[in-house]
Amino acid sequence: MYLDPPQTAAQIAELLGTKAKGNSERLVTGLNEINRVQAGDLVYVDHEKYYNKALNSAATTILINKDVEVPEGKAIVISEDPCADYNKLVRHFNPLLGWPRTEPVIGEGSEVHPSVVVGPNVKIGAGCRIMPGVVLYENTTIGDRVIIHANTVLGADPFYFKKRPNGYDKMIPCGSVVIEDDVEIGALCTIDRGLSADTRIGQGTKLDNHVQVGHDTLIGKHCLICAHVAIAGAVVVEDGVTLWGQVGIPSKLTVGKGAVIMGQSGIMSSVEGGKSYLGSPASELKTKLREIALTSRLPELFRSIAERSVPEKKQKD
C-alpha cells in the first residue's frame, strides 16, 4: 500500500502517540508486510524471533515493540502493540469504501453479466467476459480478454490473524488482486487480495474450477492450475508451471519455472523448475515412482525372507 502523500517516521509516530528513533525524518512511502517489503516501506514486527529479519529487510521504517539499535539510515517506531498500531495505520490511510451504486468503467467489448457485483476502484479491461454471480472486491484490476466463470470471488480478505490470549485479531488488508491479460478463471474460484500488496495472476494463465489462491501469492505467466488446487499465502509460482488436481502448496514457498506437480501432491519446501514431482510430501517423479514400485514388492520380499528362514530353523533343531 502506497502512502499519498508520504509521511515521515516522526509523523507516523505522532499519529500513533509514540516516538521514532534513528532517521526520524525518513519518508514512509508505503505500508507492507514482511514478504513484500521494499525501500520506503514501513513493516511491523512484534516477536523477537523475527526482529533481525525485519530490521535487515528492505523496509526502511520498522514498527517494533522493543527499543533496539537502529540500522544505519533507517528509523524505528516503538509501539506496545505493533500489530494493533499497524491496523490503525492501515485504516487511517485506507478508510473503508462503500460499495458503489454507479456503473463501473468497463473496457470496450467486455461483457459483464447484470448479476456481477463490482466494488469500488475496480478496473475491467477490453474484450472480457464476466459470468453470472462473480464478485469483484475493491481495487481489483482485470486486464484484457479475461474470462471469469460463474460465482468466482476476487479480492476477499486474506486469512491472516494475530493470535491473542482471548482469540484472534483480524489483520486489516489494504492490498489488491491483479489479473493480467488473457487469463481464464473457472467457476467457484477464490483469489484473496494481498494483505498490503497485490495477489497477481500472470498473463495467459488458466485456472480450473474450485481453485483457492491465498493472499500476496504471485503466479507467473502461462501456468495451468487444475481443479481443487489450494495455494496458501505469499507463494511464488513461476512461469509455465502445471499444478494438477488437488495439489496443496503451503505459504511462502516457490515453485520453479516449468515445474509439474502431479495430482494430490503436497510440497513441503520450495521445488526447482523444469522437474516433475509426486506424493505428499512430494519428491521428484522418477524417485517417487521407484519408491512406489519397491513398496508394492514388500509383501513378496517378506514372504521370501520368511521362506528362507524356515530351513535354517530346522537345521538348528
In which band, very low, low, confident or very high, does the pLDDT at 148 lie, cut at 50, 70 and 90?
Answer: very high
pTM of the model: 0.90
The CATH 2.160.10.10 portion of the chain extends over: 111-288
Query: Letter for the amino acid at 305?
Result: I
The structural architecture, per CATH, of the domain 111-288 is: 3 Solenoid (2.160)
Distance CA(217)–CA(158), nearest Å, equals 11
- What is the pLDDT, as a whole number, of residue 312? 55
- Return the pLDDT at 305: 82
CA R_g for the chain: 25
Residues forming CATH 3.40.1390.10 domain(s) in the chain: 2-93
What amino acid is encoded at 6 in this protein?
A: P
Residue 281: pLDDT band (50, 70, 90) is: very high
Q: Residue 130: is its pLDDT beyond 90?
A: yes
Is 290's pLDDT higher than 90? no
Q: Specify the 3-state DSSP secondary structure of 45.
A: strand
Superfamily the domain 2-93 falls into: MurE/MurF, N-terminal domain (3.40.1390.10)
Residue 166 Cα distances to 169, 171, 186, angstroms: 9, 16, 39
- Distant-in-sequence, close-in-space partners of 84: CB < 8 Å, separation ≥ 6: 169
Banded model confidence at residue 122, pLDDT cuts 50, 70, 90: very high
Q: What is the pLDDT of residue 315?
A: 53
Reported as a single tens digit per residue, the pLDDT across 100-113 is 777 788 999 999 99
Q: What residues are labeled active site?
A: 215
Contacts of 76 (CB under 8 A, 6+ apart): 9, 20, 21, 22, 55, 61, 62, 63, 64, 67, 68, 70
